[in-house]
Amino acid sequence: MNKKSVRDVEVSGKRVFVRVDFNVPVENGAITDDTRIRETLPTIQYLIENGAKVILASHMGRPKGEVVEELRLTAAAARLSELLGKSVAKADEAVGEAVKAQVAALNNGDVLLLENVRFYAGEEKNDPELAKQFAELADLFVNDAFGAAHRAHASTEGIAHHLPAVSGLLVEKELAVLGKALSNPDRPFTAIVGGSKVKDKIDVINKMLEIADNVLIGGGLSYTFFKAQGHEIGKSLVDNEKLDLALGFIQKAKDLGKNFLLPVDIIVTDDFSPTANTREVGIDSIPADWEGIDIGPKTRELYADVIKNSKLVVWNGPMGVFEIEPFSHGTRTVAQACADTSAYTVIGGGDSAAAAEKFHLADKMDHISTGGGASLEFMEGKKLPGVEALNDK
Ligand SMILES: Nc1ncnc2c1ncn2[C@@H]1O[C@H](COP(=O)(O)OP(=O)(O)O)[C@@H](O)[C@H]1O
Ligand SMILES: O=C(OP(=O)(O)O)[C@H](O)COP(=O)(O)O
């Protein structure tokens, strides 16, 4: 990476404003997955050990510039404190006199977590005044919020214009792993693209056709391709505006000599529920009033085989509605194949990561990205504003 990291600058005795992504799932006030907090520990521990005064800032949810009690970072502070094995002070605001006083009271090695930065309307607007207020709290800015690196907000981008600005160790790691997949991949390189957000995934499929050897399509995306090819797709998910583009991708794969695989069989259902009737059908036999919900057994076998024979696998998006048990087999098979293969496996996207967790296979993957949107945008070749704003080496 051509950006400076926290290791490239002096931090001892400095007030360091660290943007993290503690946007973790919470149910009834309890954190249900603390991955994003655990992944920032290397940076926070590095700063503590090197005598910095650590000021952490994060967003949580989308409170749209207002205080929303359920979106306070109180539970995150408590969990961080447990994980660090030391007390973490928590501010009730993110800027202002009380926060300044809390910062002034910090000793070297102390940690203070500010309140949700999205309680301020200026955050998402990248208001220069708010960015300045954040900057006034510190001597150095460290961005370790990979999950929010695609956002140009006051605490991710604006602040970098007022302070020396470097990356944290998580951002550095994410960029190194995802960057390798893009620029110097081990081959055969297999990209698996599934999920339901056709519009969001189009650019990623396009990019993967250029850089991967095998592109496997699954999930709700598949039906736009099937419809474009003239198949009956019943009530399956489709994006009618992308039919020509889908045909274009099939042609592009041929022109580039890439192995572009669509499901050869699927599971259809007559109702979106765990007790619904299901059938395995070929892609030319989808009943008009049924819905495609998962990849079928032949496709599972085919995809698992490709994954097994790969050296690098990048997976984004589930193969079916894995949240409902009878429709989870395709996603489970792909997750298991990723766990078993000797290939280096990279998982991006919240739902694919959640699927790996659900099947207790997450620790068998080589890299699970902490950013869904951010990893997609990075893989599409877009610039991430939270990274671009950092100081060059
Ligand atoms: N055939 C399908 N029909 C409808 N929804 C699907 C289908 N296959 C997968 N899904 C849904 O897609 C969702 C995930 O899509 P997406 O957000 O694009 O993935 P990710 O978060 O991994 O990027 C899951 O909730 C899953 O239930
Ligand atoms: O959860 C996040 O994004 P993700 O679901 O794309 O990984 C990040 O915290 C960014 O949040 P945002 O999409 O509200 O800006």
SS3 per residue for 290-336: CEEEEECHHHHHHHHHHHHCCCEEEEECCCCCCCCHHHCHHHHHHHH
pLDDT at 138 over 80: yes
pLDDT at 1 over 80: no
Are the CB atoms for 214 and 192 separated by under 8 Å?
A: no
Per-residue model confidence as pLDDT tens digits over 78-116? 999 999 999 999 999 999 999 999 999 999 999 999 999
Are the CB atoms for 189 and 181 separated by under 8 Å?
A: yes
* pLDDT for position 37: 96
Would you place residue 313 in the very low, low, confident or very high pLDDT band (cuts 50, 70, 90)? very high
Nearest to residue 318, comparing CAs of 308, 332, 306, 305? 332
Would you place residue 304 in the very low, low, confident or very high pLDDT band (cuts 50, 70, 90)? very high
What atom in ligand 1 is closest to the CA of residue 266?
Answer: 1
Higher per-residue confidence, 55 vs 32 = 55
Distance CA 222, CA 290 (A): 15
Mean pLDDT calculated for residue range 8-12: 98
Q: Which ligand is nearest to the CA of 64?
A: 2
CB within 8 Å of 264: residues ≥ 6 apart: 282, 283, 296, 298, 299, 302
DSSP string, 85-134: TS--EE-SSSSSHHHHHHHHTPPTT-EEEPP-GGGSHHHHTT-HHHHHHH
pLDDT at 332 over 90: yes
Per-residue model confidence as pLDDT tens digits over 339-363? 999 999 999 877 888 899 899 999 9
Distance CA 364, CA 341 (A): 10
Per-residue model confidence as pLDDT tens digits over 162-216? 999 999 999 999 999 999 888 889 999 999 999 998 888 888 999 999 999 999 9
Most informative mutation of 23, 64, 370 for ligand 2 (most atoms within 8 A of CB): 23
Are the CB atoms for 384 and 374 separated by under 8 Å?
A: yes
Helix (H, G, I), strand (E, B) or coil at 165: strand
Most informative mutation of 192, 196, 379 for ligand 1 (most atoms within 8 A of CB): 196
Question: Has 36 been labeled as part of a binding site?
Answer: yes
What atom in ligand 2 is closest to the CA of residue 36?
Answer: 9
Question: Has 60 been labeled as part of a binding site?
Answer: yes
Catalytic residue set: 36, 197, 350, 373
Relative to beta strand 111-113, strand 53-57 is parallel
Question: Has 7 been labeled as part of a binding site?
Answer: no
Containing 351, the helix (H) or strand (E) segment is helix 350-358
* Residue 338 tokens, joined: 């990723």
* pLDDT for position 44: 98
Q: Name the residue at shortest CA distance from atom 12 of ligand 2.
A: 148
Question: Has 323 been labeled as part of a binding site?
Answer: yes
Distance CA 123, CA 134 (A): 10
Ligand 1 centroid to residue 283 C-alpha, Å: 19
Q: Is 330 in the pocket of ligand 1 (CB under 6 A)?
A: no
Q: Is 50 in the pocket of ligand 1 (CB under 6 A)?
A: no
* Residue keyed to tokens 């495609």: 292
